Amino acid sequence: MKILKWIGIVLGGLVLLIALAAGGMIASTTSRFSKTYDITPAPLTVAIADGDLAVGEHWAEMHCRECHGEDLGGGPFFEDPSIGYYDAPNLTSGKGGIGATYTDEDWVRAIRHGIKPNGTSVFIMPSENFYYLNDADLAGIIAYVKSVPPVDREIREPSLKPFAKILYALGAFGDLLYAEVIEHDVRPSAPAVGVSVEYGEYLVNSHGCKSCHGEALSGKQPPEPGAPLAPNLTPGGELAAWTDADFISTMRTGVTPGGTELDAAYMPWQGLGKMTDDELKAVWMYLQALPALETTTE
Ligand code: HEC
Ligand code: HEC
């Protein structure tokens, strides 16, 4: 019977160790969510009051509405019994909306730096991409969001279950607290608008192609189980055989020249396909100018 006692002690010790590790991971995620950043954003060179509403609406169509809703009044973003829930905020000036109290500086800090007025990082909201937006585009976006009709909708305080915090600490979702990864004191260059390699790079950065297709755009496997590989977009991949018309049509219809239907749950072509012809041509020029890299999965 001694052996049973020893097995009991070993198993009990293991359970205790696992509980301690889990507790440590939960505490680490909680402290990352509550970490504060003290950033005073540089004022935009284009006054928000002069922001181009059409430019702002174009960006909102391609990005903001996908998460903050058609009326930008926010609502449930994800909800799962084992993970918890997180809502996308109401961006309007209606009841429950952040627009009612946000200053111009708050808007710039949240979108460009990923930092909320209380100093903590945004979660999920892709500021690591919006960080690249030039002053004119950002002023247009803020002016447009401020111009939409107020929506009265209260948004719930987010709630993440301990299991979600453990998964987050293990890196299962990647890094989604974007204030942690943004280089706050560097401003990326803002090339002139045009059909050029430089402007194509600007669009690729601010639309977030690299966050899925990899830093070098040579391909990356999304973290979700069962997700398709985000393919190699350099001339080392399938795109080497495409024309600019093939590329534009793929982005607009979600069907590649080879007939593959792109899964919109993983490749957001419905939003990105709203880029104008000139914008898509600039993106294509940039992709074609990249070195031909071997396909990677990370
Ligand atoms: C992938 C989904 C997604 C997209 C795209 C997105 N957001 Fe968000 N946004 C969120 C979520 C989720 C939050 C809540 C973050 C939090 O509370 O940590 C948020 C937070 C914000 C906040 C901060 C709100 C606060 O609580 O202080 C602002 C401002 C904002 N978004 C504006 C925008 C604008 C403008 C766009 C388009 C340019 C946009 N978002 C695109 C998901 C998104
Ligand atoms: C949220 C992640 C995500 C973002 C952002 C994203 N992609 Fe994708 N993309 C994917 C995934 C995943 C696939 C593969 C989808 C499938 O096979 O169903 C894909 C497929 C593609 C394809 C088809 C390639 C082929 O060889 O069949 C092209 C072209 C493409 N993306 C271009 C872009 C461009 C350009 C951008 C930025 C403007 C972009 N993607 C942004 C995830 C993303």
In angstroms, the CA 216 to CA 174 distance is: 17
Residue 225, pLDDT above cutoff 90: no
Contact 209 CB / ligand 2 (< 6 Å): yes
Report pLDDT for 295: 96
The burial of 229, by beta-carbon neighbours within 10 Å (0-12 exposed, 13-18 middle, 19 or more buried), is given as: middle
Report pLDDT for 6: 86
Residue count (the chain): 298
Kindly report, residue by residue over 98-124, the tens digit of the pLDDT: 999 999 999 999 999 999 999 999 999
Enumerate residues lining ligand 1, CB below 6 A: 59-60, 63-64, 66-68, 77, 86, 88-89, 91, 98, 110-111, 116-117, 122-126, 130, 141, 145
**How many CB atoms within 10 Å of residue 70?**
8
Cβ pair 194, 282 in contact under 8 A: yes
Q: What is the dihedral of CA 76, 110, 207, 224, to 10 degrees?
A: -40
Q: With CA atoms as reference, report the closest residue to 297 among 204, 227, 192, 214.
A: 214
Residue 1, pLDDT above cutoff 90: no
Cβ pair 216, 286 in contact under 8 A: no
In angstroms, the CA 59 to CA 70 distance is: 13
Report pLDDT for 174: 84
Report pLDDT for 266: 95
Kindly report, residue by residue over 176-206, the tens digit of the pLDDT: 999 999 999 999 989 999 999 999 999 999 9
Report pLDDT for 168: 93
In angstroms, the CA 237 to CA 61 distance is: 29
- Ligand closest to 131 (CA) is 1
Atom of ligand 1 nearest to the CA of 66: 5
In angstroms, the CA 287 to CA 284 distance is: 5
Ligand 1 mean position, distance from CA 260 (Å): 31
* Distance of alpha carbon 52 from the chain centroid: 23
Atom 8 in ligand 2: which residue has the minimum CA distance?
Answer: 267
Percentage of the chain modeled with pLDDT above 70: 100
Cβ pair 274, 60 in contact under 8 A: no
Q: Convert 278-289 to b/e letters by CB count within 10 Å (16 or more is b).
A: ebbbbbbbbbbe
CA distances from residue 242 to 33, 155, 235, 288 in whole angstroms, order as listed: 43, 45, 9, 10
Unique residue bearing structure tokens 């419905």 = 270
Residue 83, pLDDT above cutoff 80: yes
Ligand 2 mean position, distance from CA 119 (Å): 33
Residue 4, pLDDT above cutoff 90: no
Ligand 1 mean position, distance from CA 88 (Å): 6
Contact 280 CB / ligand 2 (< 6 Å): no
- What number is the average pLDDT over the span 251-257? 97
